[in-house]
């Protein structure tokens, strides 16, 4: 997420409405519906191979402060 | 009953059990184990179907269920394959796709017009004169299609089952049996699948040695070894119909779809014998060499009395020997090869003095006014594809083609393998299989029995090593010492055409060449333009020939031209297998039985079942609903609100979380108060709403919409895994039951119940929240005003919901309390102008459009959607949701989604509309353009094809404008 | 054998009406109304024998609870309970209760169904207070109401499950004490392997609003193997004979 206070209108609109569609290894959100457990996965979008799965705390480390927004991967 | 070959021929039939069935109205005698096709063949009946376009007579081609020439109609099963369908007593089978009878199909006249039906003609014809297509469509619709669906059929029970194995071997021929055996090391669970009734594959019908006994000996050896192992499961009459990610294999057997998960897969799917192309190669009686061998060995049926073998390899000589051993006259072995290198089996045929013509081709087959082959015209080959002007006629009643094989590559290609072809050696290879999938046998272009078994063992070692069961290496790849059995060019053009490339689509050599002349040179385009390979047999017998012809016509190699890929299902799959047994979970509240007992008409909202209204005597539905509305406005009623979501949020950061998640403010919300909670997404669109109840400083209980609760909960979890605030979020929707008791007498009813909660207006004001006990039942109580009367929403643990309902009904009995359903609730809330998310909002509704600007906080640092809403507010909204009134009760009532028009221009639409029994007017909500949003404006709503009605834009709420009644 | 009217207690299984329509005989276990057996329609169904082959029993009214949060494991340990070390496994306490660790931060506690130690009740009592929740980061979950509780017993149970569940529940793969959080007939469920004597047994805990739907699906899947519904007496017999 770009800076939700300071980013330009254009940058913000691109964040909300545009999505990258990369051919190659991407990191994506997955949810195990039966237990409502969210986790992350690295997947190769060309071969559909799952490289690895990991817990969200690997990317998100501590309490996020929204008055000082960090850039996070979507 | 015609004669059958004696035992040991006929491995699949039981000569002691006679079965009678009918085909095309005629009684046919067969034996148990016969298929429809073989029983007919045993009675010398070859005609099974009429081809798709030209209605040419067709019969058996492969006898392996791999071609569509055998498609017949059964009472409950259109498009059954006659060479797979077992006969049963009294079965009524018929042909398809004919006008008149199968024997005398008037449609066959189309064959005379083939000049006017060139490849791709339907892309060019039927355009002019304008409007001609409608007339043609009716004609074509009658002519097109094959089987007929029985509309009165009662569905059978289909279901699915999972299976889990370490190794799955697809195909139970020599390669598959060997692979299964060698994979079954201690502790390794193996599944062996074969689509035939018995294991063995080619061992059951092919000739592997001069004497013709080796096949059965090896088969017996392998089967005994397999039976001796208790970790090999065998499924016969089972087809692996596809390959999906991570070795997920759908295996179809009877009415059950097995979902098999294999850690490792070995594909031993074998290869498909290919036809030769010559004039009339589609006549009944022109069959694959392996088909003749199947007829003899599996069914004990005579293929004919006088045979011609057209061969391009040594296998054809094995076919000749098999027929000869069965007492059938071999009129000639026509060998496409000029200087063949013989093996022992071919030598034996020569030694027996069978007539052999090397360097010759079958140039044409003839039928002399019968439906099946009666003679062939054989000619010397000058150069590939070209013969001399004059040939010899040989009388025969069966022609066996043995010109090569294509691997059954379908599953391998679905798994990502790439099929390539070497023009010089005429050999296919499949490369780049995934690491958990191996190939063995003729699918991998090995045909020698010893080589096949060695390779199968090697594949087994690879997979068991991957699984950690063994540590030895697998050994060298087997490369074959034998020449390829694939003849590079068994294709002979004829001036009269009718040399079929694709039997399903009636495509001939010139059709394929013309496709390339029309500019479609890429094999994918040839396929789609000509429809080659798009029929029921999906290119099994046409892909190779088409690739060769396209390559020749475009001056490329077959390797460069390629073949199109294969997609699941491998064989035709009944919809019942995919559809059954489906699970559509139903969600019921604890009060469900009480609703049914009270006469509720239930309706489905997502997975939940809720009462729409309650039947009252003989009253019509609308009157029941209006009575329920009246009862709430003037008395007291109760509604089951258990389905609305409930989420418990607890922890030090709970208020901070809510402030970021919802649009409103919560940090200063007092304990014991409820607040409206509006939810937007990052695009600023309203996606859900609910009521946030502060039960304590660090405990909130939030409701959500019935349909949105689970999504809201998942969204909360996703955001907090990024924000990592200190709180617990739990979805307790199912844990609580809820009753909303509403109406002027609501409080009177509640105070009759034993409770430690003071329900009086002073102690428990509007939008208050209290926890306590009601008749020993722990309860959370919220005063809300969705319907605009005094209302208390009581949430109790799920298992005591029914008991609570009974208590309230009993306490309310003296007031005439009545339950009400969703329909009444919708009218009541509409009278108050309350929106329903998803009905009055759509994928573009932001808070300012729907008069919810008041619920959006302007002084929070952040909330989901906040930035976007600020951006949107820089311009005026494009539309507004407003209330409207229609005075004229005789006008047809607008429905949801009816358009608001300005002349003929669409300027908005209705989202809710109902007759209000309280106001005695028609009321509704609609999106209108900004200039019409003023109270008093007139809008025009188109409520039917011919009728438009005028409505007046009105201030909301329609009823009790100051909303005093709910705060009493 | 005591006969009880299930409606005298306010806590009712969502299957109460189904049980009544299928001639259930109820009994009280503690304060929970439970089916002890079903009157056979014709001939006799030997529920005890059935229990060893394939049978289902509804325990939805029996005590259970759950706890979540950073401090949940520690707090439960302080209450004298012994938790499994890894997630998705379950252990039996000396009192007979079962604790299933669903994740590092979540545990499910099921009472033993016969002796009825008061583990669940005690935990519920000790846990109720905000103060305690905040300082110990231990949050109680209303598992007694959010989920229904069935037992599926018998040698055919694993095979039956494979018709409605994608997890391999064969007894040599899904060992004693294993826990699966997955979907059964598309209903989110927790499945725990906990044998009765030497009879394989699976505890099934699923969203309670789909209890009737899931019960129907299970009976339908069991039909092929002649599975039936049984009461708690038949479950008892599986342990007695051991």
Q: Please tell me the predicted confidence (pLDDT) of residue C130.
A: 54
- Least confident range of B317-321, B365-369, B539-543, B825-829: B365-369
**pLDDT tens digits, residue range B343-396?**
999 999 999 999 999 999 999 999 977 789 999 999 999 999 999 999 999 999
Q: Please tell me the predicted confidence (pLDDT) of residue C129.
A: 62
Q: Which two tokens stand for residue B24?
A: 């095309």
Give A 7-46 residues with CB within 8 A of chain B: 9, 12-13, 16-17, 29, 31, 36, 38
**pLDDT tens digits, residue range B746-796?**
999 999 999 999 999 999 999 999 999 999 999 999 999 889 999 999 999
CA B165 to chain C, closest CA, distance in angstroms equals: 10
Which residues of chain C neighbour A35 with C-beta distances below 8 Å? 102-103, 181, 188
List of chains touching C (3+ CB pairs within 8 A):
A, B
Listed by start position, the domains of chain C span 6-61+146-240, 64-143
In 3D space, the residue among C164, C200, C167 whose CA is nearest the CA of residue C182 turns out to be C167
- Least confident range of B3-17, B139-153, C50-64, C173-187: B139-153
Which burial class, exposed, middle or buried, applies to B807 when counting CB atoms under 10 A from its CB (0-12, 13-18, 19+)?
buried
Measured CA to CA in angstroms, residue B865 lies from A9, A14, C180 at distances of: 14, 14, 37
Mutation to test the C interface, candidates B734, B775, B777, most C Cβ within 10 Å? B734
Q: Which neighbouring-strand residues pair with B260?
A: B163, B249
Share of chain B above pLDDT 90, in %: 85
**Average pLDDT score, chain B:** 94
Length of chain B: 968
Does the beta carbon of B382 lie under 8 angstroms from any beta carbon of chain A?
A: no
> Quick check: B290 and B83 in contact, CB under 8 A?
no
Q: Which residue carries 């494979």 as its tokens?
A: C162
Q: Please tell me the predicted confidence (pLDDT) of residue C43.
A: 65
B733: closest chain C residue by CA: C146
In angstroms, how far is CA A2 from the centroid of its own chain? 12
CA–CA separation, C239 and C42 (whole Å):
27
Taking the CA atoms of residue B547, residue B551, residue B552 and residue B553 in that order, the dihedral angle to the nearest 10 degrees is 100
Instruction: Locate the DSSP E strands across B306-422.
Output: 306-311, 329-335, 356-358, 360-366, 375-383, 386-387, 392-395, 398-402, 405-407, 418-422
pLDDT bracket for residue C3 (50, 70, 90): low
Q: Looking at the predicted structure, is the pLDDT value of residue C1 above 60?
A: no
Q: Looking at the predicted structure, is the pLDDT value of residue B106 above 70?
A: yes
B681: left (phi over 0), alpha (psi -120 to 50) or beta: beta
CA–CA separation, A14 and A20 (whole Å):
10
Nearest CB to C10 within list B161, B735, B777: B777
C187: closest chain A residue by CA: A34
Mutation to test the C interface, candidates A35, A36, A55, most C Cβ within 10 Å? A35
Q: Please tell me the predicted confidence (pLDDT) of residue C22.
A: 94
Q: Which neighbouring-strand residues pair with B262?
A: B165
Q: What is the 3-state secondary structure (H, E, C) of C75-119?
A: HHHHCCCCCCCCCCEEEECCCCCEEEEEECCEEEEECCCCCCCCH
Map residue A39 onto helix, strand or coil. strand
Q: Do A33 and C188 touch (CB under 8 A)?
A: yes
Q: Looking at the predicted structure, is the pLDDT value of residue A69 above 60?
A: no
Which residues of chain B neighbour C137 with C-beta distances below 8 Å? 651, 726
Q: What is the set of domains in chain B, with CATH numbers?
A: 1-102 (3.10.20.440), 159-271+407-466 (3.50.50.60), 275-403+483-498 (3.50.50.60), 501-568 (no CATH), 640-820 (3.30.1360.120), 831-859+876-967 (2.40.30.110)
How confident is the model over B516-532, as a mean pLDDT?
A: 91
How confident is the model over B828-834, as a mean pLDDT?
A: 96
Tell me how many residue pairs between chain A and chain C have CB atoms under 8 A apart.
13
> Quick check: C143 and C64 in contact, CB under 8 A?
yes
Q: Which neighbouring-strand residues pair with B19?
A: B30
Q: What is the 3-state secondary structure (H, E, C) of B1-35?
A: CCCCCCCCCCCCCEEEEEEEEEECCEEEEEEECCE
> Quick check: B725 and B657 in contact, CB under 8 A?
yes
Q: Looking at the predicted structure, is the pLDDT value of residue B651 above 50?
A: yes
Q: Looking at the predicted structure, is the pLDDT value of residue B967 above 90?
A: no
Q: Please tell me the predicted confidence (pLDDT) of residue C53.
A: 95
Q: Please tell me the predicted confidence (pLDDT) of residue B27.
A: 96
CATH 1.10.10 fits C64-143, yes or no: no
CA B357 to chain A, closest CA, distance in angstroms equals: 51
**pLDDT tens digits, residue range C101-150?**
999 999 999 999 886 788 898 898 888 765 566 677 899 999 999 999 99
- Determine the angle formed by the axes of helices B509-517 and B543-553, rounding to 10 degrees: 50
Q: What are phi and psi of B823, to 5 degrees?
A: -60, -45
Does the beta carbon of A37 lie under 8 angstroms from any beta carbon of chain C?
A: yes
**pLDDT tens digits, residue range B128-154?**
788 888 888 887 777 777 788 888 988
Q: Which residue carries 């929240």 as its tokens?
A: B769
> Quick check: C56 and C227 in contact, CB under 8 A?
yes
> Quick check: B286 and B46 in contact, CB under 8 A?
no
pLDDT bracket for residue B681 (50, 70, 90): very high
Q: Is A70 part of a structural domain of the chain? A: no
Nearest CB to C141 within list B586, B726, B730: B730
Q: Please tell me the predicted confidence (pLDDT) of residue B622.
A: 95
Query: Domain range for residue A30?
Result: 24-65
Length of chain A: 74
How confident is the model over B199-226, as a mean pLDDT?
A: 96
pLDDT bracket for residue A71 (50, 70, 90): very low
**pLDDT tens digits, residue range B685-739?**
999 999 999 999 999 999 999 999 999 999 999 999 999 999 999 999 999 999 9
Q: Please tell me the predicted confidence (pLDDT) of residue A74.
A: 36
CA A33 to chain C, closest CA, distance in angstroms equals: 8
**pLDDT tens digits, residue range B490-510?**
999 999 999 999 999 999 999
Q: Looking at the predicted structure, is the pLDDT value of residue A72 above 50?
A: no
DSSP secondary structure letter of residue B408: -
CA A37 to chain B, closest CA, distance in angstroms equals: 8
Nearest CB to B652 within list C10, C134, C187: C134
> How many domains, in total, are found in chain A?
1
Sign of CA dihedral C142, C143, C144, C147: positive
Does the beta carbon of B721 lie under 8 angstroms from any beta carbon of chain A?
A: yes
pLDDT bracket for residue B206 (50, 70, 90): very high
B348: left (phi over 0), alpha (psi -120 to 50) or beta: alpha
**pLDDT tens digits, residue range B408-433?**
999 999 999 999 999 888 889 999 99
Query: Which string of DSSP letters, residue by residue, matches B505-553?
Result: TTEEHHHHHHHHHTT--SHHHHHHHH-TT-STTTTTTTHHHHHHHHHHH
The ipTM assigned to this model is 0.95
For the domain C6-61+146-240, what is the CATH code?
3.30.1360.120
CA–CA separation, B640 and B821 (whole Å):
8
CA–CA separation, A39 and A48 (whole Å):
17
How confident is the model over C154-161, as a mean pLDDT?
A: 98
**pLDDT tens digits, residue range B627-642?**
999 999 999 999 999 9
Does the beta carbon of B867 lie under 8 angstroms from any beta carbon of chain A?
A: yes
Query: How do beta strands B306-311 and B398-402 pair?
Result: parallel
Q: Do A61 and B724 touch (CB under 8 A)?
A: yes
**pLDDT tens digits, residue range B230-270?**
999 999 999 999 999 999 999 999 999 999 999 999 999 99
Does the beta carbon of A57 lie under 8 angstroms from any beta carbon of chain B?
A: yes
**pLDDT tens digits, residue range A23-68?**
999 999 999 999 999 999 999 999 889 999 999 999 998 888 877 5
Q: Which two tokens stand for residue B799?
A: 């298992």
In 3D space, the residue among B488, B478, B491 whose CA is nearest the CA of residue B445 turns out to be B478
Q: Do B714 and A36 touch (CB under 8 A)?
A: yes
How confident is the model over B24-44, as a mean pLDDT?
A: 96
For B872, what's the count of Cα atoms within 13 Å in the CB-facing half-sphere?
21
Q: Which neighbouring-strand residues pair with B380?
A: B360
Q: Which two tokens stand for residue C169?
A: 């529940």
DSSP secondary structure letter of residue B787: S
CA–CA separation, B86 and B99 (whole Å):
27
CA–CA separation, B235 and B33 (whole Å):
18
């Amino acid at each position: 997420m770009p800076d939700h206070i300071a980013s330009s209108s254009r940058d913000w609109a691109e964040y909300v409405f545009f999505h990258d569609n990369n051919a190659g290894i991407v990191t994506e959100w997955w949810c195990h519906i039966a237990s409502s457990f969210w986790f992350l996965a690295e997947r190769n979008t060309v071969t559909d191979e799952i490289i690895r799965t990991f817990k969200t705390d690997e990317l998100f480390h501590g309490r996020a402060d929204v008055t000082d927004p960090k850039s996070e991967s979507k | 009953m015609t004669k059958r070959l004696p035992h040991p021929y006929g491995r699949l039939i039981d000569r002691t059990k006679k079965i009678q069935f009918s085909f095309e109205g005629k009684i046919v005698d067969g034996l148990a184990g016969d298929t429809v096709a073989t029983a007919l063949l045993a009675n010398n009946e070859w005609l099974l179907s009429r081809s798709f376009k030209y209605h040419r007579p067709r019969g058996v081609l492969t006898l392996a269920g791999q071609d569509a020439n055998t498609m017949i109609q059964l009472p409950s099963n259109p498009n059954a394959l006659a060479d797979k369908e077992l006969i049963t007593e009294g079965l009524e089978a018929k042909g398809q796709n004919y006008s008149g009878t199968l024997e005398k199909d008037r449609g066959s006249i189309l064959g005379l017009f083939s000049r006017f039906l060139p490849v791709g003609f339907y892309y060019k014809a039927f355009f002019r004169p304008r409007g001609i297509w409608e007339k043609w469509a009716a004609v074509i619709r009658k002519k097109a299609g094959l089987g007929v669906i029985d509309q009165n059929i009662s569905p059978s029970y289909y279901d699915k089952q999972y299976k889990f194995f370490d190794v799955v071997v697809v195909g139970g021929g020599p390669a598959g049996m060997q692979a299964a055996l060698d994979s079954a090391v201690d502790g390794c669970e193996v599944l062996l699948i074969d689509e035939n009734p018995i294991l063995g594959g080619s061992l059951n019908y092919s000739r592997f040695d001069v004497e013709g006994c080796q096949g059965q000996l090896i088969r017996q050896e392998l089967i005994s070894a397999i039976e001796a192992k208790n970790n090999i499961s065998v499924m016969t009459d089972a087809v692996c119909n596809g390959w999906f990610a991570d070795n997920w294999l759908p295996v179809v057997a009877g009415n059950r779809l097995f979902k098999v998960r294999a850690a490792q897969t070995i594909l031993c799917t074998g290869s498909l014998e290919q036809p030769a192309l010559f004039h009339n190669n589609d006549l009944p009686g022109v069959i694959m060499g392996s088909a003749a061998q199947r007829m003899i060995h599996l069914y004990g049926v005579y293929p004919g009395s006088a045979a011609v073998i057209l061969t391009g390899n040594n296998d054809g000589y094995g076919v000749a020997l098999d027929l000869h051993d069965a007492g059938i006259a071999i009129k000639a072995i026509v060998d496409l090869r000029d200087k063949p290198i013989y093996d022992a089996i071919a030598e034996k045929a020569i030694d027996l003095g069978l007539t052999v013509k090397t360097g010759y081709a079958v140039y044409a087959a003839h039928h002399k006014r019968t439906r099946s082959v009666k003679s062939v015209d054989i000619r010397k080959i000058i150069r590939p594809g070209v013969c001399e002007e004059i040939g010899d006629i040989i009388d025969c009643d069966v022609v066996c083609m043995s010109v090569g094989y294509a691997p059954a590559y379908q599953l391998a290609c679905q798994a990502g393998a790439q099929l390539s072809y070497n023009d010089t050696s005429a050999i296919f290879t499949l490369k780049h299989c995934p690491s958990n999938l191996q190939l063995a046998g003729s699918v991998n272009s090995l045909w020698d029995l010893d080589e096949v078994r060695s390779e199968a063992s090697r594949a087994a070692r690879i997979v068991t090593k991957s699984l950690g069961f063994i540590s030895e290496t697998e050994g060298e790849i087997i490369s074959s010492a034998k020449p390829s059995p694939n003849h590079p060019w068994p294709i002979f053009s004829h001036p009269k055409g009718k040399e079929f490339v694709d039997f399903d689509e009636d495509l001939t050599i010139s059709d394929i060449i013309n496709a390339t002349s029309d500019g479609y040179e890429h094999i994918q385009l040839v396929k789609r333009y000509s429809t080659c390979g798009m029929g029921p047999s999906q290119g099994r017998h046409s892909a190779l020939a088409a690739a060769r012809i396209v390559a020749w016509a475009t001056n490329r190699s077959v390797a460069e031209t390629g073949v199109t890929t294969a997609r699941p299902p491998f064989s035709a799959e009944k919809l019942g297998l995919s559809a059954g047994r489906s699970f559509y979970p139903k969600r019921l509240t604890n009060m469900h039985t009480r609703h049914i007992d009270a006469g509720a008409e239930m309706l489905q909202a997502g997975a939940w079942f809720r009462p729409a209204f309650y039947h009252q005597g003989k009253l019509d539905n609308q009157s029941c609903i209006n009575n329920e509305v009246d009862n709430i406005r003037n008395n007291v009623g109760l509604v089951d609100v258990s389905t609305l979501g409930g989420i418990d949020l607890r922890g030090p950061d709970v208020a901070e979380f809510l402030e970021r998640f919802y649009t409103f403010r919560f940090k200063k919300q007092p304990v014991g108060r409820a607040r409206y909670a509006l939810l937007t997404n990052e695009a600023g669109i309203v996606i859900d709403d609910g009521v946030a109840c502060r039960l304590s400083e660090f405990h909130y209980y939030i409701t959500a919409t019935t349909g949105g609760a689970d999504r809201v909960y998942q969204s909360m979890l996703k955001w907090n895994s990024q924000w990592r605030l200190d709180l617990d979020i739990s979805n307790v929707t199912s844990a609580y039951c809820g009753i909303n008791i509403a109406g002027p007498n609501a409080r009177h009813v509640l105070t009759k119940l034993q409770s430690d909660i003071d329900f009086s207006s002073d102690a428990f004001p509007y939008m208050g929240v209290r926890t306590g006990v009601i008749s020993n039942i722990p309860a959370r109580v919220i005063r809300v005003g969705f319907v605009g009367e005094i209302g208390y929403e009581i949430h109790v643990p799920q298992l005591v919901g029914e008991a609570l309902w009974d208590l309230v009904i009993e306490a309310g009995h003296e007031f005439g309390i009545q339950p009400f359903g969703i329909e009444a609730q919708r009218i009541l809330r509409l009278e108050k102008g309350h929106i329903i998310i998803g009905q009055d909002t759509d994928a573009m509704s932001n808070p300012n459009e729907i008069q919810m600007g008041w619920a959006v906080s302007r002084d929070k640092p952040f909330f989901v959607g906040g930035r976007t809403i600020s951006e949107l507010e820089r311009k005026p909204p494009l539309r507004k949701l407003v209330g409207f009134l229609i005075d004229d009760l005789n006008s047809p009532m607008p429905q949801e989604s009816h358009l608001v028009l300005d002349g003929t221009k669409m300027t908005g639409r209705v989202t809710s509309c109902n007759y209000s029994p309280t106001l005695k007017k028609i009321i509704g909500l609609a999106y209108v353009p900004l200039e019409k949003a003023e109270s008093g404006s007139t809008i025009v709503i188109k409520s039917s094809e011919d009728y438009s009605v005028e409505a007046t834009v009105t201030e909301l709420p329609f009823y009790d404008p100051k909303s005093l009644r709910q705060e009493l | 054998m005591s006969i009880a009217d299930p409606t005298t207690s306010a806590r009712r299984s969502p299957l109460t009406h189904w049980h009544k329509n299928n001639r259930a005989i109820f009994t009280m276990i503690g304060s929970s109304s439970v089916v002890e057996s079903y009157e056979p329609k014709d001939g006799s169904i030997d529920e005890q024998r059935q229990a060893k082959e394939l049978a289902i029993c509804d325990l939805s009214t029996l005590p259970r609870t759950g706890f979540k949060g950073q401090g949940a494991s520690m707090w439960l340990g302080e209450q004298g309970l012994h938790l499994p070390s890894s997630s998705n496994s379950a252990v039996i306490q000396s009192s007979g209760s079962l604790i299933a660790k669903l994740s590092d931060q979540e545990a499910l506690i099921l009472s033993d169904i016969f002796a009825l130690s008061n583990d669940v009740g005690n935990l519920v009592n000790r846990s109720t207070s905000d103060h305690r929740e905040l300082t110990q980061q231990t949050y109680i979950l209303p598992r007694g109401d959010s989920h229904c509780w069935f037992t599926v017993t018998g040698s055919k149970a694993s095979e039956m499950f494979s018709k409605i569940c994608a997890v391999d529940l064969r007894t040599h793969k899904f060992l004693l004490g294993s826990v699966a959080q997955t979907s059964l007939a598309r209903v989110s469920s927790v499945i725990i392997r906990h044998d009765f004597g030497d009879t394989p047994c699976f505890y099934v805990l699923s969203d309670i609003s789909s209890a009737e739907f899931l019960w129907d699906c299970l009976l339908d899947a069991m039909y092929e193997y002649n599975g039936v519904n049984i009461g708690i007496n038949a479950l008892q017999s599986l342990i007695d004979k051991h």
